[in-house]
Amino acid sequence: MMGLSVVISVIATVVFMATFSAGVNMPGLLISIVMPICLGGPMILTFAIGTERMRHANAQLTRLATIDGLTNILNRRAFSAAVEKYCTAPHRRGVLLVIDADHFKSVNDRFGHDHGDEALRDIAHALSLTIPQPGLVGRLGGEEFGIYLPDMDLAGAEGIANEVRRAVADIDFTPEGVACPLSVSIGGAAHEKPIAFRALYREADARLYSAKQSGRDRVALPQAA
């Protein structure tokens, strides 16, 4: 763009001097070359800075729209939208796990919400490290999380669910120097044909309730056919 500006300036100067003056001269040509550079450089720099700022702002907006600010994993809206694409596509199967931290209210009551937030971050980190790619993990709200395992059968999903449960149990959570064991209950639902996320979630959530009623710190999945 700078080069084009210089060429246009030189051509305009030559035409102007040939028409309205005694002819083309060197000082005029030098001015026609230097002026676009002096004026255009700062303008191009300003434009580049503005473009980079806009790109950064758009990236921040995208992150705010998709990432949970506390746990740094997908928020409910982004997670459910991503899972919806998977589970409504033809010829796809997968398993949705719904995970809930056990007795989490007591953590907030005993140690305060700041330490409760720390526990949620630790749990989210454990989930992220445990699931295989291209699995998805998100925070569904409060102390509830979701994991979606595309193209996974029930046997594989049960193994991963138990790995998640053990990973959370292994978290060294000691707020104010007091040992506070963490555990999660997990319910799951599988699909082998297109299904809406809401329907899949309801089925997994019902099994989560069953896991809670059965004593917590356990996994409840449908029986394999």
Dihedral sign for Cα 80, 82, 88, 92, please: negative
Cβ contacts of 189 within 8 Å, gap of 6 or more: 95, 96, 200, 201, 203, 204, 207, 222
Q: DSSP E strands: which ranges in 142-193?
A: 144-150, 184-191
The H or E element spanning position 38 is helix 26-66
192 belongs to the catalytic site = no
What's the number of CA atoms in the CB half-sphere (13 Å) around residue 130? 28
Catalytic residue of the set 52, 84, 118, 143: 143
Q: Mention every residue, 6+ apart, whose C-beta is less than 8 A from residue 160.
A: 97, 130, 131, 132, 135, 147, 149, 152
Structure-block tokens of residue 114: 């700041």
**Cα distances (angstroms) measured from residue 41 to each of 4, 53, 117:** 13, 18, 49
- Distance linking the first and last C-alpha atoms of the chain: 66
Instruction: List the catalytic residues.
Output: 143
